[in-house]
Structure 1
Amino acid sequence: MASSNRTLFRWLLIPGLSLGLFLLFTLGAAWVTRFTDAPEPPGPTAPAREPPRTPPPRATAPAPEAPRAPPPAAPVREPPRPPPPGEAWDAPDPRRVEVVEPVVEASSGRIDAEDLRLALQAVTPLVQQCFQDAAQRNRGAQEVKLRFTVEGEGSEGKMNRGVLVSSTIPDPMVQACVLDSLLDARFPAPHLGGSATVLYPFRFTVPGDAGP
């Protein structure tokens, strides 16, 4: 009886152990496969890449200043040109009082024309000085025309009633100077105690030039 129990125990124990080992093996294999095939947990998310930064603009070096133009040179002054002959203020004036024939407009007694001309020519240096005093203010040819009366006084004549007929020099001082010069003239006395009216132009020109 004891032998039968042992045999039965063997038949029950061995298959049971086999079945248990099979189940244990199957469950172990499934458990291993589960962990082997399980998806790996996601790793840490890679940080998003920032867009490339635009490099800051390079500081542009200031443009070199244009070279400053040198200050304008002082204008070169030409030396004063010498004035043409006869035009310089300090040069001798070539103009002279011309010798002109006097014109006897009326006479109540005969008067010698040559003596009259010599008397006027004698006072020419005085008239020259009158013109010379105003020469710098009055360029070119000039003329002062006078009318005067010569009356006999003894053996000589004298100028009387002198008037200005015309003048290219608008200077009363010059006109009066020329008229006063006749007071120093020693005119011939008209014959028979008469008088003569004389017209005479004092012309101040360069010798050789045509008068006005």
Structure 2
Amino acid sequence: MASSNRTLLRWLLIPAVSLGLFLLLTLGAAWVTRFMDAPEPSGPAAPPPVLPPRVAVPSEPSRPEPPTAPLPRPAAPVREPPRAPPPREDWDAPDPRRVEAVEPVVEASSGRIDAEDIRLAVQAVTPLVQQCFQDAAQRNRGTQEVKLRFTVEGEGSEGKMNRGVLVSSTIPDPMVQACVLDSLLDARFPAPHLGGSATVLYPFRFTVPGDAGP
């Protein structure tokens, strides 16, 4: 009977001891594994960095936006500038043309007469001839000429124009031609020596001073 109890006790203790050893080894292995996995302390923890205090920067006042330029207008179509009107003839402006001084031609003479004396006599009435041309100047541009043939006859100590005729004229105006002939009536010609008469050919040229005549 005592032998049976010992055998039963042995079978009860052996599994209990084995189970206790198994549990002990399992707990020991778990503790060692946890100890090995724990991070090693690396000294005291560093304090967090201290940031400098933020200084409040005053914000710039908002600048007003510049006004936007208006959009350019569409370009107008290019038009040809109006042409300047032709220069208007100033009817009141003095004409620069003058009666040109020329030498008379004594074609025939029954008494001696000096051509220079005839030229001086005609020159004395040149202002009258100038007025004859000036009246028709705007209607007749450029150099003009009225050629006359007249006779000088002595009347006492002086001579006088007689029988004046028109030889040629570039001005187709009978009023101008008659005006030039009438101007010679006021001329005081010298009387031909020894009496008689002289036939004179005289061209009145109306031209700008300095221009060459025809």
Please, what TM-score do these two structures have when normalized by structure 1?
Answer: 0.61
Matched, 1:196 2:202: no
Structure 2, gaps ≥5 residues long = 1-76
Question: 1-side partners of 2:78 and 2:132: how far apart?
Answer: 49
Matched, 1:135 2:137: yes
Matched, 1:149 2:151: yes
Question: 2-side partners of 1:171 and 1:154: how far apart?
Answer: 36
Matched, 1:167 2:137: no
Question: 1-side partners of 2:83 and 2:91: how far apart?
Answer: 20
Question: 1-side partners of 2:177 and 2:106: how far apart?
Answer: 21
Question: 1-side partners of 2:182 and 2:135: how far apart?
Answer: 15
Structure 1 residue 192, shift from structure 2 partner: 0.8
Matched residue, 1:123: 125
Structure 1 residue 193, shift from structure 2 partner: 0.9
More deviation, 93-102/110-119: 110-119
Question: 2-side partners of 1:189 and 1:149: how far apart?
Answer: 11
Aligned length: 138
Which residue, out of 112, 115, 120, partners 2:114?
Answer: 112
Which SS does the other structure have where 1:191 is aligned?
Answer: coil
Letter in 2 for 1:116: I
Structure 1 segment 59-74 matched on structure 2, within 5 A: none
Matched residue, 2:186: 184
Question: 1-side partners of 2:109 and 2:87: how far apart?
Answer: 52
Please, what TM-score do these two structures have when normalized by structure 2?
Answer: 0.60
Structure 1 residue 113, shift from structure 2 partner: 1.8
Which residue, out of 57, 80, 97, partners 2:99?
Answer: 97
Letter in 2 for 1:92: P
Q: Per-residue CA shift, 1:52-87, capped at 9, x if unaligned?
A: xxxxxxxxxxxxxxxxxxxx999854454656xxx6
Matched residue, 2:29: none
Q: Per-residue CA shift, 1:22-78, capped at 9, x if unaligned?
A: xxxxxxxxxxxxxxxxxxxxxxxxxxxxxxxxxxxxxxxxxxxxxxxxxx9998544
Structure 1, gaps ≥5 residues long = 1-71
Question: 1-side partners of 2:159 and 2:179: how far apart?
Answer: 21
The Cα RMSD (Å) is 2.1
Question: 2-side partners of 1:110 and 1:199: how far apart?
Answer: 16
Letter in 2 for 1:141: T
Letter in 1 for 2:173: D
Question: 1-side partners of 2:114 and 2:157: how far apart?
Answer: 13
Percent of residue pairs bearing the same amino acid type: 90
